[in-house]
Structure 1
Amino acid sequence: MPPALPVLGLDLGATLTKIAFRQGELHTERWPSRDLDAVRARIVELAPRRIVMTGGGAAVLGASAPFAAATSVSEFEAWSLGAATLAAEEGLVLPARHLLVSAGTGTSVLVVEGGSAVRAGGTGLGGGTLVGLGKLLVGAASFAELSALAARGSRGSVDLLVGDVYSQGAPIPAHLTASNFAKLASTEPADLAHALVGLVGENIALVCAGIARLAGTDTVVLGGTTLAENPALVEVLTQTLGLTGLAAWFLRRGAYCGAVGALVAGERIAHGDSERGCPG
């Protein structure tokens, strides 16, 4: 049996619960947030000496779980710590000031500078929007099914483009969206799914662009479960952010920023206890 973990980080989101721990290398796992029994069982199996939690569901799990040494860290601090750790793992050096985007069930945008993170805005558009409207529009039973459909679709036959409005002399590039879902030349499920991803992605990118201008940065670092295995959304975000003059950096394990940040916060606490001679 492996030795007990020194620290376990948990991020309890509205849809998914993520955990992070080290056994030599960094490990990350996730479960549906509705299945807290499975999360508790995994924690018991790992037997961590210290647990640090973040996310909206942290209070629920903490109140009902028989765990010692469980503490919480703010979601924004956890995301900042986790993004920096995962970026370093990928060999990326984050700018001193940048935007950090948490694309989950909804979307939060943080301004990160000097190790501090402040929420500067966001939008209710996110993975929850894709799942809900995907079920209504195309009968997609899951986020994975919607993402797969979108990857095969073409939203140019669903959205009204600038080129559809201006035959010539368009004031902005002809391939840009003039109005989402306004053409509907196709109602094929794949095309509708791609158009839905376009609507969500473009609006997230435009929210980021406005905040980036106010914050004086041109770098947007993106993570969150909504981006995982969703190449169509990554493409829309990359293109739209690029058109506004922003560089988009996607973290490969960005879905786990919160959990990894909670882990790092716990490791710092444990290190401080060790220096003071306190039990871990």
Structure 2
Amino acid sequence: MGMIIGIDVGISTTKIVGLREGKPTAPIRITAADPITSLYGAFGKYLHDNNIGLEEVDHVMLTGVGAGYVKSDVYGVKTSRCDEFIADALGARYESKLDHAIVVSMGTGTSFVMCRGEEMSHIGGIGIGGGTLMGLSRICLGTSDIKQVSALAMQGTLRNVNLLIGDISTNPLPGLPMDATASIFAKAKSDAPKEDIAAGIIGMVLQTIGSASVLAAQGTGCRDMVLIGNLTLLPQCKEIFPSLEKLYKVRFHIPKYSEFCTAIGAALAFGKKIDK
């Protein structure tokens, strides 16, 4: 059997991975002005960079919000589609090696998918994610460049803008340590430096996603959350999610290819009778 190509088509960014003998290889991402350009650019670059002939590709699996723009087979290769939530779950399960977990897909917004073995179901989502981070950064910092905002945030101090339990109570509250956040941005001043504002914006987005995932898990018996999507690349994840683990007694996992899990899942969906 030849290679199965999984492609997660966004509005401007496309992620692609090849699956050979059941193993993902050399994932890449391409950004372009529109989904069609992004898709075909990513496909061509993937084949070129990995010295793969078009005849070696057996099937293409598409997923993502931009997949609907593609009405025909890609480069003449038989092409099918996979529901994005299923692709999220399959990719996260494969990468994390967890059969019972909530997949937290941190994209423009954030979705939650419950995995119990072969059973995968979308259980909700929130309108907080990368889009929120970009929009607030554009308004407050004059840039939507996530790398620039992250670099600014690394020089800022979150406690300078957030109100902590220790700021309002002389003693820890039940289940809440003194350094837990009482109110996001409640301590921010009108002349707060950009570094602290950047730290506050990133902290708000990641803390909200983490807390919402814990609420989504209530009553399920699940204590494992698998984080996927572009926001997992933020260095602030290494500080914020471990603190949430201690607070909520849960486990957050960021797989090796967290950014590409949806594309991996699309490829894995081939032959499972869940592709379209």
| TM-score bin, normalised by smaller chain | 0.7 to 0.9
| Map of 1:138 onto structure 2 | 141
| Map of 1:224 onto structure 2 | 229
Q: Is residue 148 from structure 1 mapped to residue 151 from structure 2 by the alignment? A: yes
Could you state the TM-score of these two structures normalised by the residue count of structure 2?
Answer: 0.85
| Map of 2:43 onto structure 1 | 43
What is the CA–CA distance in structure 2 between the aligned matches of 1:159 and 1:19, rounded to whole Å? 38
- Give, in angstroms, the shift of residue 181 of structure 1: 1.0
| Map of 2:90 onto structure 1 | 81
Identify which of 200, 205, 214 aligns with 2:205.
200
| Map of 2:61 onto structure 1 | 52
Q: How far does the alpha carbon of each residue in 1:196-217 deviate from its partner, in whole angstroms, 9 at most, with x for none?
A: 1111111111111112122111
Q: How far does the alpha carbon of each residue in 1:71-108 deviate from its partner, in whole angstroms, 9 at most, with x for none?
A: 00111221222123223xxxxx41x3211111111111
| Map of 2:78 onto structure 1 | 69
Q: Which amino acid aligns with 1:209?
A: V
Deviates more, 1:28-37 or 1:99-108: 28-37
Residue 217 of structure 2: SS of its match in structure 1?
helix
- Give, in angstroms, the shift of residue 140 of structure 1: 2.6
What is the CA–CA distance in structure 2 between the aligned matches of 1:15 and 1:234, rounded to whole Å? 27
Q: RMSD in angstroms over aligned alpha carbons?
A: 2.4
Residue 268 of structure 2: SS of its match in structure 1?
helix
Q: Which amino acid aligns with 2:68?
A: A
Identify which of 238, 241, 256 aligns with 2:245.
241
Residue 115 of structure 2: SS of its match in structure 1?
strand
Q: Which amino acid aligns with 2:62?
A: M
Identify which of 9, 12, 27 aligns with 2:9.
12
Q: How far does the alpha carbon of each residue in 1:10-56 deviate from its partner, in whole angstroms, 9 at most, with x for none?
A: 01134521101147861111122634324314424632331110111
Q: How far does the alpha carbon of each residue in 1:133-184 deviate from its partner, in whole angstroms, 9 at most, with x for none?
A: 0111112341111112122211101111121112x12423221112111112
- Give, in angstroms, the shift of residue 57 of structure 1: 0.9
Q: Which amino acid aligns with 2:83?
A: S
Q: Which amino acid aligns with 2:4?
A: V
- Higher helix residue share: 1
Q: Which amino acid aligns with 1:50?
A: H
Identify which of 179, 182, 186 aligns with 2:183.
179
Q: Which amino acid aligns with 1:59?
A: G
Q: Which amino acid aligns with 1:56?
A: V
Relative to structure 1, the CA distance from residue 83 to residue 164 in structure 2 (aligned partners, 3 Å threshold; closer, same or farther) is same
* 1:105–1:226 CA contact under 8 A, matched in 2: no
Identify which of 253, 258, 261 aligns with 1:254.
258
Q: Is residue 158 from structure 1 mapped to residue 161 from structure 2 by the alignment? A: yes
Residue 50 of structure 1: SS of its match in structure 2?
strand
Identify which of 211, 215, 223 aligns with 1:210.
215
Relative to structure 1, the CA distance from residue 64 to residue 136 in structure 2 (aligned partners, 3 Å threshold; closer, same or farther) is farther
| Map of 2:50 onto structure 1 | none
* 1:197–1:233 CA contact under 8 A, matched in 2: no
Q: Percent identity among equivalent residues?
A: 29
Residue 208 of structure 2: SS of its match in structure 1?
helix
| Map of 2:268 onto structure 1 | 264
**Number of residue pairs matched?**
258
